[in-house]
């Protein structure tokens, strides 16, 4: 097993037509090591990340943020534009994939359709230290037993369900005993129930094997339930690296706050009108004393107020945020409300979401007053989006 260190990683793709003037690339970086390729599209920028030995690290972010590209750089399927990648004490930038001692599990399973499950599991072993047929057979059967697929060894991939295919793909990676596992959204093709089961199985296996694992997903629920730590990415940049609960409780900026949590955090513009007073055209909040020093530099300026749906309470009258209910989603154990600010007939504000107890009777069209729990609010700089941290 080994740690993985990414040092100042950049990845750029050259423009297709250098002679023809092109539109502004989707992401540009000043001082990026690009040589003469001024029109390159930069998909990863200044990536610095250390994954400890035996750690389960999750890369999470929206589609197009660069997380799968980063995984492919570690695997050797893409070349690094600048920076260094270390696995243990080896710099692996120039090593071909087969020499990196890394196993990758793909979203599409990538099983050989003409081979049985047994041969799929054994395929990679014949080029490693498991060269004797007896050793290969023992290893294949050990892995099959741990994944409960012993009865499937003679079947072809077309005879397997989605969950079974995924376990075979995991088994093929496990059989090699690599230093590092890379997993690129391996559960995205499974139904909701099977995803939950397989998710738990992957975490259990990783803890048993103690293999350093880097797992890519766009599903923040997977990230929160699986990772020892999570690296949140957006626009080719790591926004924050922290354990799951730290991301939830202390997001570094507005993007992380809105991405982590389900339903997502609500955001409203407010004005700092006094030492502890926040004002919105429809309500005002007086914050606890702990916010005093933090708000001093922002007097008479705008901030963004963040409130999670689970940190709202229904109050009988004024004193809360006036909202009109648009949609009620009763899930049994809890109820989700989608609302608009009272009087916002043009719906200029985004939908305001709340999570309430199932015994509270609310219908679409009702007007509610929701009061935020002041100990759980978040404030962000309106320009930079950076969170204001309590001192």
- Are the beta carbons of 284 and 278 closer than 8 angstroms? yes
Asked if residue 199 and residue 139 are part of one domain, the reply reads yes
Q: How far apart (Å, rounded) are the C-alpha atoms in residues 107 and 150?
A: 23
CATH number of residue 176's parent domain: 3.40.50.300
Q: How far apart (Å, rounded) are the C-alpha atoms in residues 111 and 106?
A: 10
Asked if residue 203 and residue 340 are part of one domain, the reply reads no
CB atoms within 10 A of CB 159: 12
Helix%, strand%, coil% for the chain, nearest 5: 30, 30, 40
In-domain check, residue 20: no
In-domain check, residue 246: yes
In-domain check, residue 31: no
Compute the half-sphere exposure of residue 95: CA atoms within 13 Å on the CB side of its CA: 15
> Domain boundary at 219, 254, 289, which?
254
Asked if residue 58 and residue 143 are part of one domain, the reply reads yes
Asked if residue 206 and residue 75 are part of one domain, the reply reads yes
In-domain check, residue 287: no
Asked if residue 310 and residue 234 are part of one domain, the reply reads no
CATH number of residue 312's parent domain: 2.40.50.140
In-domain check, residue 275: no
Residue-by-residue pLDDT tens, the chain, 391 positions: 689 999 999 999 887 654 544 444 444 444 455 444 456 788 999 999 999 999 999 999 999 999 999 999 999 999 999 999 999 999 999 999 989 999 998 888 888 899 999 999 988 776 655 555 568 888 889 888 888 889 999 999 999 988 888 889 888 888 888 899 999 998 887 788 888 888 888 898 899 889 999 999 999 889 999 999 999 999 999 999 999 999 999 999 999 999 999 899 999 999 999 889 999 988 999 999 999 999 999 999 999 999 999 999 998 876 789 999 999 999 989 999 999 998 765 566 678 999 999 888 899 999 999 999 999 999 999 999 999 988 6
Asked if residue 193 and residue 131 are part of one domain, the reply reads yes
What range does the domain containing 176 cover? Answer: 4-9+43-254
Look up the pTM and report it: 0.87
Residue 78, pLDDT score = 94
Number of structural domains (the chain) is: 2
Asked if residue 85 and residue 231 are part of one domain, the reply reads yes
- Are the beta carbons of 302 and 382 closer than 8 angstroms? yes
Residue 196, pLDDT score = 86
Residue 23, pLDDT score = 42
Q: How far apart (Å, rounded) are the C-alpha atoms in residues 330 and 208?
A: 39
CB atoms within 10 A of CB 342: 15
CB atoms within 10 A of CB 391: 8
């Amino acid at each position: 097993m080994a740690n993985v260190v990414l040092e100042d990683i950049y990845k750029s793709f050259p423009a297709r037509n250098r002679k023809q003037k092109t539109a502004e690339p989707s992401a540009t970086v000043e001082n990026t090591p690009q040589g003469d390729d001024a029109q390159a599209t930069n998909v990863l920028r200044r990536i610095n990340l250390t994954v400890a030995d035996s750690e389960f690290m999750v890369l999470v972010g929206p589609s197009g943020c660069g997380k799968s590209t980063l995984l492919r750089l570690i695997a050797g399927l893409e070349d690094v534009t600048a920076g260094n990648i270390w696995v243990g004490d080896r710099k692996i930038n120039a090593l071909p994939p087969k020499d990196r001692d890394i196993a990758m599990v793909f979203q599409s399973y990538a099983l050989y359709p003409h081979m049985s499950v047994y041969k799929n599991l054994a395929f990679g072993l014949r080029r490693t230290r498991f060269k004797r047929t007896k050793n290969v057979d023992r290893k294949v059967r050990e892995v099959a037993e741990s994944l409960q697929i012993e009865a499937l060894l003679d079947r072809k991939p077309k005879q397997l369900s989605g969950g079974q295919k995924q376990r075979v793909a995991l088994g093929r990676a496990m059989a090699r005993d690599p230093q590092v596992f890379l997993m690129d959204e391996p559960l995205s093709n499974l139904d909701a129930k099977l995803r939950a089961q397989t998710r738990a199985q992957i975490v259990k296996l990783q803890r048993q094997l103690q293999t350093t694992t880097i797992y890519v997903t766009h599903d923040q629920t997977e990230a929160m339930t699986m990772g020892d730590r999570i690296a949140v990415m957006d626009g080719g940049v790591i926004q924050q690296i922290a354990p799951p609960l730290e991301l939830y409780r202390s997001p570094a900026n507005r993007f992380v706050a809105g991405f982590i949590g389900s339903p997502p955090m609500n955001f409203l513009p407010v004005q700092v009108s006094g030492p502890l007073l926040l004002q919105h055209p429809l309500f005002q909040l007086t914050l606890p004393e702990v916010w005093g020093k933090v708000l001093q530099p922002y007097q008479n300026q705008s901030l963004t107020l963040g409130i999670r749906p689970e940190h709202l309470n229904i109050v009988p009258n004024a004193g809360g945020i006036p909202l009109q209910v648009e949609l009620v989603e009763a899930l049994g154990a809890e109820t989700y409300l989608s609302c608009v600010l009272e009087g916002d007939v043009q719906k200029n504000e985004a939908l305001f979401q709340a999570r309430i107890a199932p015994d509270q009777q609310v219908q679409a069209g009702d007007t509610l007053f929701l009061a935020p729990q002041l100990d759980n609010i978040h404030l962000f700089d309106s320009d930079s989006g950076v969170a204001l941290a309590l001192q």
